A and B are shown apart, each in its own frame.
Chain A
């Protein structure tokens, strides 16, 4: 059975929501949203998701091909102000795609380079990252694993709190911060290395550990018996196709690479 790298990443990312129970899952971007939707349709039917607009849904909307919001499976109104009530309760897990991630798991979506007063590239702004990161679980989705994302120093703008002893607020420990997983186009990582160091957990089919280390701007731990990221099942692929009928997932990664890379192609 063939599958794309995007589909492999969606399945790997969906595992982030395993054992979550009744937690609001928010995937920002098409592939992260697909991952959360897949989790809700498979191993975590108790999960909670919104329509990305203003209603909680009892079953996720497709990420493509929807002509309108009418007829969707509304459960309760969930406007943006109310989202924050949920965020601050801690009962949420966000899967987001930062532009930079540093060795502490701090992230950046605000601006790159230059000075803070006049950045070289203005991005979005800190958005909800500061509040998300100190309130609830977060996982990261990285479409292109590189040293541009996994930066050697600290992020240019630290938008989310990470496992950085120098920035730890008074009265807080690392146990108050909950960064779960990092899913990239090369591997899956967590923060269960020594002192919450980022750690390689599984490598995607055909990817070497050396390739991961080369493309990461800082030292990472390596789990004992690093596994191969599991291939999507037929059931998962069918559900993904149902949730994304227009196959927009094929347009998210450059050239839509296959899920199993041939090491001889390098």
Chain B
């Protein structure tokens, strides 16, 4: 089986109105090349579920998003993500704002085929008052009230992995796979961009096989794009591009999404990469130290 396709073909599984999950965390290992392909498409009206960074910011700025399901949208060193901030402050997106752990529970519920998972998280806070569709339920085992965190069923998840083979086996070689395995399990289809395409026997090494966090039958499509996480990091291959994040923020502030897309997006990933200094520059970005 060969699941390798172009970014455009992979992203064509996403239709307007769908609910998509995006892996990674803030400025870390985001499938940004796949997001850019979405930006080049005419898809809109999306519901986006993510531990958000510029993926969410760009999709909001481009007017692709109806609703964001989030606990934060942040670039860490730049705490306030500029695209998302503008979308919120102009009231242009609907939101379901939940706790980071609640999102994990919602993905697990979807993965396990449960309608919800009971949790204490959210009790006493505006997560409950601002999400009227979040139900409180009784427990058959105690007299407390519980939050019924509903399953976050996803149509498509977009992930970025360090390496993968044509059958969809993916290695995350960085220090954390975040919730990417749950995004894969919660979705009907999962598209994974990889920095390196490797032969299947690469995974024979047990240490490598331990860095595979979901089974290949969960990977629908593999897209080989070196540097595809830029401007987010793909540890251990390259760090995040602080300079480009600043250019992105400045472009949005000066001329909105159009200013950024005219200067950087290009009509394909090679043209994007040349607009931000080239693949070699991406691959030599230093790893962040926390």
Indicate whether A40 reaches chain B with its CB closer than 8 angstroms: no
Give the residues in chain A near B102, CB-CB below 8 Å.
130-131
Give the contacts of B70-87 with A (CB-CB under 8 A). Answer: 70-74, 79-80, 84-85
Given contacts A55-B175, A122-B85, A122-B88, contact A67 B97 (CB under 8 A): no
When C-beta atoms are compared, the residue in chain B nearest to A120 turns out to be: B89
A55 to B176 alpha-carbon distance, docked (Å): 9
Asked if A161 and B175 sit within 8 Å, CB to CB, the answer is: no
Give chain B's interface secondary structure class. Answer: loop
Q: Name A124's contact: one of B72, B119, B122, B130 (CB within 8 Å).
A: B72
Give the residues in chain B near A125, CB-CB below 8 Å.
70-74, 97
Give the contacts of B193-211 with A (CB-CB under 8 A). Answer: none
Asked if A161 and B123 sit within 8 Å, CB to CB, the answer is: yes
Size category, A interface: 35 or more
Asked if A134 and B127 sit within 8 Å, CB to CB, the answer is: no
Indicate whether B98 reaches chain A with its CB closer than 8 angstroms: yes
Give the residues in chain A near B100, CB-CB below 8 Å.
80, 84, 127-128, 131
Give chain A's interface secondary structure class. Answer: loop
A164 to B123 alpha-carbon distance, docked (Å): 12
Indicate whether A118 reaches chain B with its CB closer than 8 angstroms: yes
Asked if B144 and A170 sit within 8 Å, CB to CB, the answer is: yes
Q: Mark B60-73, 1 if CB is under 8 A from A, else 0.
A: 00000000001111
Question: Which of B72, B126, B179, B289 has the most CB atoms of chain A within a 10 A radius of its CB?
Answer: B126
Indicate whether A264 reaches chain B with its CB closer than 8 angstroms: no
Indicate whether A133 reaches chain B with its CB closer than 8 angstroms: yes
Give the residues in chain B near A79, CB-CB below 8 Å.
175-178
A182 to B19 alpha-carbon distance, docked (Å): 41
Give the residues in chain A near B90, CB-CB below 8 Å.
118
CB distance from B61 to the nearest CB of A (A): 13
CB distance from A97 to the nearest CB of B (A): 11
Indicate whether A263 reaches chain B with its CB closer than 8 angstroms: no
Asked if B289 and A131 sit within 8 Å, CB to CB, the answer is: no
CB distance from A21 to the nearest CB of B (A): 23
Q: Name B287's contact: one of A68, A87, A157, A170 (CB within 8 Å).
A: A68
When C-beta atoms are compared, the residue in chain A nearest to B68 turns out to be: A125
Indicate whether A100 reaches chain B with its CB closer than 8 angstroms: no
Indicate whether B91 reaches chain A with its CB closer than 8 angstroms: yes
Indicate whether B278 reaches chain A with its CB closer than 8 angstroms: no
Indicate whether A209 reaches chain B with its CB closer than 8 angstroms: no
Give the contacts of A188-242 with B (CB-CB under 8 A). Answer: none
Asked if A124 and B79 sit within 8 Å, CB to CB, the answer is: yes
A164 to B182 alpha-carbon distance, docked (Å): 35
Give the residues in chain A near B71, CB-CB below 8 Å.
125-128
Give the residues in chain A near B126, CB-CB below 8 Å.
110, 116, 126, 157-159
CB distance from B156 to the nearest CB of A (A): 21
Q: Mark B159-198, 1 if CB is under 8 A from A, else 0.
A: 0000000000000000111110010000000000000000
Asked if A129 and B99 sit within 8 Å, CB to CB, the answer is: yes
Asked if A67 and B124 sit within 8 Å, CB to CB, the answer is: no
Give the contacts of B102-160 with A (CB-CB under 8 A). Answer: 102, 104, 119-127, 129-130, 142-145
Asked if A84 and B125 sit within 8 Å, CB to CB, the answer is: no
Asked if B289 and A117 sit within 8 Å, CB to CB, the answer is: no
Question: Which of B121, B124, B130 has the most CB atoms of chain A within a 10 A radius of its CB?
Answer: B124
A250 to B226 alpha-carbon distance, docked (Å): 40
Asked if B289 and A124 sit within 8 Å, CB to CB, the answer is: no
12 contacts between A and B (CB under 8 A): A55-B175, A79-B177, A87-B101, A120-B89, A125-B97, A128-B99, A128-B100, A129-B125, A158-B129, A161-B125, A164-B124, A168-B124
A residues sitting closer than 8 Å to B (CB atoms) are: 51-55, 66-69, 79-81, 84, 87-88, 106, 110-111, 114-131, 133-135, 157-162, 164, 167-172, 177
